[in-house]
Amino acid sequence: MTSQTDAILDRLTRLHPKKIDLVLDRIERLLAALGHPERKLPPVIQVGGTNGKGSVTAFLGAMLRAEGYGVHVYTSPHLMRFNERIVIGEQASGGSSGGPIVEEELAHILAECEQANGDAPITFFEITTAAALLAFSRHPADAVILEVGLGGRYDATNVIASPAVTLITPIGYDHTDFLGNTLGKIAFEKAGLLKSGVPAIIGPQIPEALAVIEQEAARLKTPLSIHGQDFFSYEQHGRLIFEDDRGLLDLPLPSLKGRHQLDNAGIAIAGVRHLSAIPVSNKALDLGLAAATWPARLQRLSQPPFAALPWRDGLPEVWLDGGHNPMAARALANALAEFEEVASLPLYLIVSIMKNKDIRGFLAPFRTLARGVVALPVPGSSAGASVQDICAAAEGVGLACTPAETLASAFALIKEKSESPKASQNAQNIMASPRILICGSLYLAGHVLAQNG
């Protein structure tokens, strides 16, 4: 990242005393000063929820690009470079191209937003969301995908008066200090994305959350399409089967790993099938499912960090995921249980997690799967849980835990544990290197990807 962009981003973090302050008036004021770029966009697809937003966004983008559309995409947070958040989708003959916003344009857009805002209070996420909308408004495209940052009702992305379609992924407990401490309160904030007359695709929900969404939809006269009622997605004979009132589709399994991705793919397909202004063929759905990529979502690392260690029985199988709440952990544990059925390997976790997360709830789903946990400080953040707190939570759910200071020392500890005589005596697969899941924090995920090249 250029020093100019770095300097602007650093200044923007100091425009508001709070990192998160959920209201819309500040960004609405800034967008007005910028000439309302949010009103100059192609059809917008808005993606909210708790878990699966990034994966759904990845599927949507891949399907639309497979049809040849130019697609702008806004996501957060980034893993390594801020530019990842703003993807400019350029239209091209016979297909689409594009990528993260280039440094020069990003610096110019950020400076323009900074000047328009002046010294008025505004959060970092609000002003950078305005920057993304301004950038999108200046590039021709066929669609914009906006991933909601936090909540929905007062999230900075919720300034689009009439999106083409709204998607809400599974809702669970996360950010309870801002959204409420019950599932009903959290669902109410997420349901703030619903708009009168705008179709909304609702992913699998716990009944308490679904009841709140349905109540809000009835009040607003929002047409709903609900997973398990109006559309279905499931695996059959090694294929993804999608069903809705328009018929049945027989598609390839998603490129993203884990059974939860069948649900995420289904949400995306349902969303695309409600885009009346942007037709997408079944062939593009097929190609998009196979092409979708999303870093740090149960991503297998082809060149694992510290693979140069002399592992006795060959390189370990290393997976990376940025999930950080109990619902994400359950999906991960289910996926790893499936991996275990295919190839039994001793599982170890390397975990960093923020101190405001439900650490015990995150680790509990792994209690019967993992041999142990190695706790790491969160790289690059002072708000991470201590290794002592992570180990206390792990031991509280019956998982052995060892603290480490660096990723290198974490791998060395796992190597030592997995190759010890005691481990070999107890192992079902004595001659096998371990399976390692690095998880709990997107900060950690970004750090690992940087280490992994």
pTM, two decimal places: 0.92
Q: How many CA atoms within 13 Å lie on the side-chain side of 427?
A: 19
- Whether residue 330 contacts residue 259, with contact meaning beta carbons closer than 8 Å, is answered with no
Distance, in Å, from the CA atom of 446 to the CA atom of 296, rounded to the nearest integer, reads 8
For helices 207-220 and 183-190, the axis angle rounded to 10 degrees is: 40
> Which among 160, 148, 224, 221 is positioned nearest to 186, based on CA atoms?
148
283 and 344 share one domain: no
Whether the Cβ atoms of residue 172 and residue 325 lie closer than 8 Å to each other: yes
Q: What per-residue confidence (pLDDT) applies to 423? A: 58
Based on the domain organization, do 222 and 95 belong to the same domain? yes
**275 and 308 within one domain:** no
What is the pLDDT at residue 1? Answer: 43
pLDDT for residue 304: 75
**Where a domain ends, among 291, 316, 337?**
291
The CATH number of residue 363's host domain is 3.90.190.20
Q: How many domains are there within the chain?
A: 2
Residues 281 and 356 in one domain: no
Q: Give the end of a domain, one of 243, 261, 291.
A: 291
List the CATH number of the domain containing 92: 3.40.1190.10
Same structural domain for residues 304 and 263? no
Tokens linked to 31: 């967008």
310 and 270 in one domain? Answer: no
Nearest CA to 285 out of 40, 51, 63, 105 is that of: 63
Q: Are residues 268 and 334 in the same domain?
A: no
- pLDDT per position as a tens digit, 402-429: 999 999 999 999 999 988 766 554 545 4
CA separation for the pair 380, 408 (Å, rounded):
16
The pLDDT assigned to 305 comes to: 73
Pick the last residue of a domain from 247, 272, 291: 291
Phi, psi of 55 (to 5 degrees): -65, -45
Residue 94 pLDDT:
43
Bond from prior residue into 77 cis (ω within 30 degrees of 0): yes
Mark whether 92 and 179 lie in a shared domain: yes
Whether 260 and 315 share a structural domain: no
Collect the ranges in the chain with pLDDT lower than 70. Answer: 1-3, 90-97, 421-431, 453
Distance (Å, rounded) from C-alpha 77 to C-alpha 322? 11
Measuring CA to CA, which residue among 405, 356, 355, 402 is closest to residue 377? 405
Return d(Cα 210, Cα 264) in angstroms, integer: 17
Q: What's the domain range around 390?
A: 299-451
Same domain, 287 and 305: no
143 and 126 housed in the same domain: yes
308, 283: one domain: no
Residues contacting 345, CB < 8 A, separation 6+? 317, 339, 429, 432, 433, 434, 435
